[in-house]
Structure 1
């Protein structure tokens, strides 16, 4: 039985857990072979690879740090060489540093920008060398790019807002080559980093119109739409999957 992404190859940065793992698995379920990067937990990465293979697709985990531009470029080139092509890039790896302005050092600010903005730029620049018409670049942003209800998010919200600008710029530049570029902005999502039963969860739920957290699969569904043929006429777009948090 044919699937919408049969024959496609995807690279997901930060794909060993949470939203990244859900995206990697959804793309595999839709027919893509999936490579993903991870930073620390080799055991979690191995589990995701096995689940990709259980879906009948090729899977590979590569240890890499989004802050290392040479290493990230090498991963992109490795995917194209070993899998023969690269059709979909999902920039998911991210840094999440929350601190009051007085306690936010320049090192933390620069690190956040390096991981959340420079990394996607480097990966996209490397990926387009291998992409043909129909290529997809999708970044995972944040609802904090539009609405910041809590203090301490200056670095994080700045980086995710910059990622929106990068998406629009690349969307305009790559449109003539038939490559679409979009960003999905999750809201509160039930992951180990932000559990739906955590100490601040009830307050956070109150900021959404739906009154609940998303599941990682909800974010992955939006990515899958943009990665597939039905998303072919969407580019430069910011899509909020945040339960109405940004209303």
Structure 2
């Protein structure tokens, strides 16, 4: 019904016909390189392609910090990881402090289970995606902060990009686990089989690079202006235990490690 990759069509019908083209975004790179973008768009076949990464105007080392708590459970053990997240969140979030926190999940099931497990004091501060319309949720978040209260948003992938919560509306971004694509995604499965038939490794060529981009987007919810500040906490020990995790970690903004 559809080509697995648009690269060939883009190369023949767009790039080779264009006098020039400029592609720009905050997340064109993956794992510090443009390889994924160039492969998916067909630009890797064109000789006159140059790539440049410009420095951010934000002073990440001064404005933000990165914390990787010493979790014991691997996200591959979903039940144990969920319980450990629920145990860590009350330590990470001070419900008495009138600031905003954004907790991002890759799984709706895990998000709902964590929400049910956290202590009542924290549960009363939660705004869970799906329980509120997005506009109403964000309005309530702002109203709580205006009233001098804390507010904690539990969100999924759609809250990890395009969501702008500057200033004290978000001073802490907590990421439950690395945003790998769901294994039952039919598009992902098709792409993986296609890469395997070409003799490639879907995990290293597709899964990890795409998760790296999503992680950078999620982390990007914290610093939205030169005046923003705060902390990113990632509750996934694969960042330090796996070789691919260390590459993903190196691709994040240069926050101060704590």
Give the TM-score range, shorter chain: 0.3 to 0.5
Structure possessing the higher relative contact order (Cα contacts under 8 Å, 6 or more residues apart)? 2
TM-score (norm 2): 0.37
Select the structure of larger CA radius of gyration: 2
TM-score (norm 1): 0.38
